[in-house]
Amino acid sequence: MAHTKLATEVSAAAIAVPEAAIAPLPAAYVEPRWYAAYTCANHERRVAAQLAERTVEHFLPLYSTVRRWKDRRKQLELPLFPGYIFVRLALRDRLRVLQVPSVVRLVGFNGSPVPLEESEVEAIRTCLERNYRVEPHPYLREGRRVRIRTGALAGTEGILLRRKGAFRVVLSINLLMRSIIVDVDIADLDLSVPLQTW
């Protein structure tokens, strides 16, 4: 009888734990965000197929390029960021990605995954969805920064380049230190404020 009474008291005490005593989970742990998954070389498409089977939201940016050999030319679709695929998930679900063969890790610092800037990922998605001409470009730390004020990329910031009379903007995924370059119309750029130089 005493044991039953003690068990009841212990159960009641356990139930009576105030909610404030239960630490809330960090937002990054439960809220879906974009992360970069580092893959084995040339396995990006294979990883994308595996993620699709596991119904993990992912994004593998590709661009078209023509490779020339002595006797032929061939148009290829290649990753804009070789060795990386973007995944959108809450960190509590990261094993769904890390258990995929050919996924090495989620990019971050000191073993902790770091989310990508949403605006950077969305700018790249917009470029590809709207069929902008894009290609990889060396990562730039310095340059004349501009904001695109109209069009599908309105609000996007990048570094302005001018080549052969054409205006192009370099967009970056800063966590990866990787960039792409996209053709833009000068009329879409906000030049009403002085361009800043990094």
Assess whether 32 and 89 both reside in one domain.
Answer: yes
Q: Give the total number of structural domains in the chain.
A: 2
Q: What is the pLDDT of residues 26-39, one digit of tens each?
A: 776 889 999 999 99
Assess whether 66 and 76 both reside in one domain.
Answer: yes
Sequence-ordered strand ranges (E) for 60-153: 62-68, 73-79, 84-89, 103-106, 108-109, 112-113, 134-137, 144-148
Residue 76 lies in a domain: yes
pTM, entire model:
0.80
SS3 197: strand
Q: What is the pLDDT of residues 118-137, one digit of tens each?
A: 999 999 999 999 999 999 99
Assess whether 128 and 168 both reside in one domain.
Answer: yes
Choosing from 100, 116, 132, the residue where a domain stops is 116
Choosing from 98, 116, 134, the residue where a domain stops is 116
* CATH code, domain with 35: 3.30.70.940
Choosing from 93, 116, 139, the residue where a domain stops is 116
Assess whether 53 and 107 both reside in one domain.
Answer: yes
